[in-house]
A and B are shown apart, each in its own frame.
Chain A
Amino acid sequence: MTPDASSYLIISAILFTLGTVGVLVRRDPLIIFMCIELMLNSVNLTFVAFSHYLSSADGLIFVFMIMTVAAAEVVVGLALIVSIFRTREDIDVDQLDEMHG
């Protein structure tokens, strides 16, 4: 079966949903973080696919930017996780409820 634009989109959707569900059900912040990376990558795939099928480099530029942002995000996010772990000795996200209304 020859892949076309919609195949890529569907793969992207599957990966995105997996990432989403992971973010929502897991409690380890590291895994949640990785799930977020998964979601970002699924979006990247969409961009690349559209870029290809629309013969436009704009999508690639977007991917490039997303990668940069993701890298920055990972740096800060991991630093946060490390620092929270240090102060709380415990990084179960369900215990981080200071924002309780």
Chain B
Amino acid sequence: MSSVWFILLLPLFGFLVLSVGSPLPKRAVAVLGPGVVGVAFTAAIVMFFWDYGRHGVTRDAVAYTWIVSGHFVVNFGALIDPLATVMCLIVTGVGFLILLYSVGYMSEDVDFRRFFCYMDLFVFAMLVLVLSDSYLFLLVGWAGVGLTSYLLIGFWYERPAAVAAARQALVVNVIGDWGMMVALFILFLHFHTLQYVPIFKHVPAVLGYDGSTVRIVTLLLLVGAVAKSAQLPLHVWLPNAMEGPTPVSALIHAATMVTAGVYLIARSYPLFHSAPFTQSVVIIIGTCGAFFAATCALANNDIKRVLAYSTMSQIAYMFVGVGAASYASGIFHLTTHAYFKACLFMGAGAVMHALHDNVDIRRMGGLKATMPVTFWCFLIATMAISGVPLLSGFFSKDEIVGSVYLQAQHVGWLWIIWIMLALTAGLTALYMFRLLFMVFLGQERDPELALHAHDPPLVMRLPMMILAVLAVIGGYLAFPGAPNWIGNWLRHSFERFSPVAPAEPATQWASVIIVILTVALGIFAAYRIYYQRRPAPEQVGATAPAIYRLFLNRWYVDGLYDRAVVRPIIVLGLFLSTVVERFVINGLVEGSAAALRDSSRDMRRVQSGYVRNYALSILLGAVLVVGYYVFRR
């Protein structure tokens, strides 16, 4: 059991040492920063094998009581089950690789120590999130990762764009926190606790007397999940978050933090399972988000933003997976996505490194020659995310689409969902291969820029290669027909509280074949357009200007939010401070003060300054007092 605390406290220890250790040499930072996460990963592996033998053991360890106020009692504890273990492995494992990569990537930065300090804090917060045994500490970790995300997006705080993006990310995430908080209040009101296990045990009881409660709770939890995972309609912060250093994008905004929403839904599956309405909402949000993000990625010219939109799109797939009650497949896709998306970001980071932090893909091209390792890793990851058969993304995405296909047999409107998902799979292939072709193939568009392009050093190359390998073999965790052991194992998590746990769907060959066809079509289109024709940047939009502009401007959502939400609040604040505070609030006070002043101006005449006049008035008072006693009876 103690290994959990070991895993949890190591990154915290790293954070604390790094935060106060300003005299530490750079080499020590480079060892300590990734080192603690590496050790934590080792401990997580030990924990995993320890548990794996005993199928799906669930352990709840309480560290201490956090607060007691009447019957509001919250403990800080860890819940170890297959789901938590998988998340723990991803966070520490991928985290370790990305931190290793950062050692090379950030080596030139003056704030080297601060970077690892924040990264360790992030890993700690993420571990709190996934290991917590109660919703309250889930929220603590939830806000903690939001904070570190904010800090790391704004890591280069001299850049106004980074500062603005960080602020946006923080505020949007806090909107999600609000939803979570209210959900927690309702949970406490009905369950008198915030621990997972008692809540999940009593879901049927509460359902028995109030069906809408669970629906409202899940919808509010969904607000949090949507904000954190950058799904519609709270997605705007994720593309802007690419202002942060690339390892941050890889770890936080691709592999781990943004998938916390999926984790939340999977973790709360007894609640979501009891709220079919919410599940439908999750599916619809996921499908729309997947399609929306794919279209945005199609038109974007910023290498990192394309990847950001693709992240959003892939997480949307996971949402559909968990929304369709196929929790294991959602988590499976989460796992494979962590591999190939982190690898893609690392590749993008290597490209940026080589091209002096240039991110505009219209100025790239032909990097395959100078950066072969990066190209091959990128290619593998691109194929994986596109769903090219036999790579990891194919299996995980196929499971999700297949489960929707399966359920569509019973629920009519899911056909629309399934069609859109299949279409989006094709779009994914299109935009990813567009990226690949424009960046690595063809000829150099800006030779001067690419003059010194070269593969990154070993410390960056190695993690990239490891992840590329994982992107290939990760899918065989659930090879169709094979034992599908990740699904089997996770099922221990997803069968505990709900007798109606979904059966893992058998492979839907019809669905698989259609998806493969659309993917092939997407790749072929990308090949035709971006490899063979290689249009000038201006020509791209010319074929369908309206749609292109719509995609390029992200469907005008950002501008809409700015005009409809942000500015009105600012204007309200200005109105309050200039009009209400000055004239109404102060006006009431100063008005009464003025009234007093005016009346006192008249009263002042009474004050003649002659003492004898005053004495006379005293006498008048005395006479009145005597008069009162005389006439009282």
Chain A residues within CB distance 8 Å of chain B: 20, 23-24, 27, 93-94, 96-101
Contact = CB atoms under 8 A, between A and B. Distances in A.
Contacts of A101: 604-609
Interface in B573-610: 604-610
A96 B605 contact: no
B546 interface: no
Interface stretch (B503-511, B550-558, B611-619): B611-619
Nearest to A20: B619
A101 B600 CA distance: 10
25 contacts: A20-B619, A23-B612, A23-B615, A24-B612, A24-B615, A24-B616, A24-B619, A27-B612, A93-B611, A93-B612, A94-B612, A96-B609, A96-B610, A96-B611, A97-B608, A97-B609, A97-B610, A99-B609, A99-B611, A100-B607, A100-B608, A100-B609, A101-B605, A101-B607, A101-B608
Interface of A is mostly: loop
Contacts of A97: 608-610
B625 to A, nearest CB: 14
Interface in B322-363: none
Q: How large is the interface on B (under 10, 10 to 19, 20 to 34, 35 or more residues)?
A: 10 to 19
Contacts of B610: 93-94, 96-97
Contacts of B612: 23-24, 27, 93-94
Given A96-B609, A97-B608, 19 more contacts: A23-B612, A24-B616, A24-B619, A27-B612, A93-B610, A93-B611, A93-B612, A94-B612, A96-B610, A97-B609, A97-B610, A99-B609, A99-B611, A100-B607, A100-B608, A100-B609, A101-B604, A101-B606, A101-B607
A93 to B, nearest CB: 6
A61 to B, nearest CB: 25
Interface of B: 604-612, 615-616, 619
| Chain B at the A interface: SS class | helix
Contacts, number: 32
A16 to B, nearest CB: 10
A27 B615 CA distance: 13
Contacts of A23: 612, 615
Contacts of B608: 97, 100-101
A94 B609 CA distance: 9
Contacts of B604: 101
B610 to A, nearest CB: 6
B54 to A, nearest CB: 92
A94 B606 CA distance: 15
B597 to A, nearest CB: 13
Q: Which among A96, A97, A99, A101 has the highest number of chain B CB atoms within 10 Å?
A: A101
Contacts of A98: 609
User: Which 9 pairs from chain A and chain B are nearest by CB?
Assistant: A100-B609, A101-B607, A97-B609, A101-B604, A99-B609, A24-B616, A97-B610, A24-B612, A24-B615
B559 to A, nearest CB: 64
B483 to A, nearest CB: 99
A71 B612 CA distance: 23
Contacts of A96: 609-611
A99 B604 CA distance: 11
Nearest to A13: B626
B627 to A, nearest CB: 14
B599 to A, nearest CB: 13
A53 to B, nearest CB: 20
A96 B613 CA distance: 12
Contacts of B616: 24
Contacts of A27: 612
Contacts of B615: 23-24
A97 B607 CA distance: 10
A20 B610 CA distance: 16
A69 B611 CA distance: 22
Contacts of B607: 99-101
A26 B367 CA distance: 113
B308 to A, nearest CB: 74
Nearest to A29: B611
Contacts of B619: 20, 24
